[in-house]
Amino acid sequence: MPHADASAPRATGRGACIGVFDSGLGGLSVLRAIRAHLPQADLLYVADSGHAPYGEKSDEFIGARSEHISRFLMSQGAELIVVACNTATAAAVHHLRQRWPDMPVVGVEPGVKPAVAQSRTQRIGVLATPFTLQSQKFQTLLTRHGGAAHIVLQPCPGLAREIEQGQLDSPGLRALVASFSQPLIDADVDTAVLGCTHYPFVAPLFKQALGDGVHIIDTAEAVARQTARLVQDLPSSHPVHEGASDGATRLWSSGNPALLTQVAHAWLSLKTQAGALPKE
């Protein structure tokens, strides 16, 4: 997995243990960014692929799954939880913070604020799951940070499910990306927000479909920076020692652990055997 620029000031996460979960494989984009910022932290990742996609489930179901997975990650030593899923963040992050008030919990949300700050023309597209775009959390985000920008909300039903298959350049995937990009092209946006943690893995396809003039934003980097800030306050986090080894990465799936193993190797160059997430 890539490391951050060695010249950039950052926490290393030495001694810290961070739990990350998503409804499936998409949160690996967040895991990748966290590893770049925290090379010496131990990272734990759960793909709840056996219950994906979350967008078709009730808030109560997502809350119960999020609590079950968080409890498992804590049992494995996690001191901080990253909810690497927009749907789970909208449906369950408040519940997790109430359930464990002393546990730092980091959620994700579409990067509307940085998009508005960076857009030259104030014409912005947000690509996300239907659930995310309809959620009250996202509507509040839009009201708070959208300002006077013209924002095109583009639901992408089926895109995360297609990415879950693990093939990032299939004809079906290219067709979906082209279809969802067209309304943004028609609206002449200059900035596109990838509002689902799955979507960064097909950012090259979106870049190709939207053209070089459109700046693409995903939130993995912001989530990693926030995680690195919080890690510095964990009791187990220690200062860096020159030459210290990188932290371990462990993976579990409630679906097909072999697929998670294969995809983590193909997408992140991770040579880690995924295990089966224990049932409740």
Give all domains of the chain, ordered by start, each with its CATH number.
17-108+221-276 (3.40.50.1860), 112-218 (3.40.50.1860)
| First-to-final CA distance of the chain | 31
256 assigned binding-site residue: no
Quick: pLDDT tens for 203-246: 999 999 999 999 999 889 889 999 999 998 887 655 555 555 78
261 assigned binding-site residue: no
Q: Which residues are catalytic?
A: 85, 196
For the chain, give the percent of residues with pLDDT over 70: 91
23 assigned binding-site residue: yes
Question: Tokens in use for 75?
Answer: 């049992």
Q: Which of 28, 37, 27, 26 is nearest to 2 (CA)?
A: 37
89 assigned binding-site residue: no
3 assigned binding-site residue: no
Find the helix or strand (DSSP H, E) in which 44 lies: strand 42-47
Quick: pLDDT tens for 63-90: 999 999 999 999 999 999 999 998 899 8
Is residue 102 packed enough to be buried (19+ CB in 10 Å), middle (13-18) or exposed (0-12)?
A: exposed
Q: Which residues contact 152 (CB under 8 A, 6 or more apart)?
A: 123, 124, 125, 126, 183, 184, 187, 189
The type of residue at 32 is R
Question: Tokens in use for 236?
Answer: 């187990």
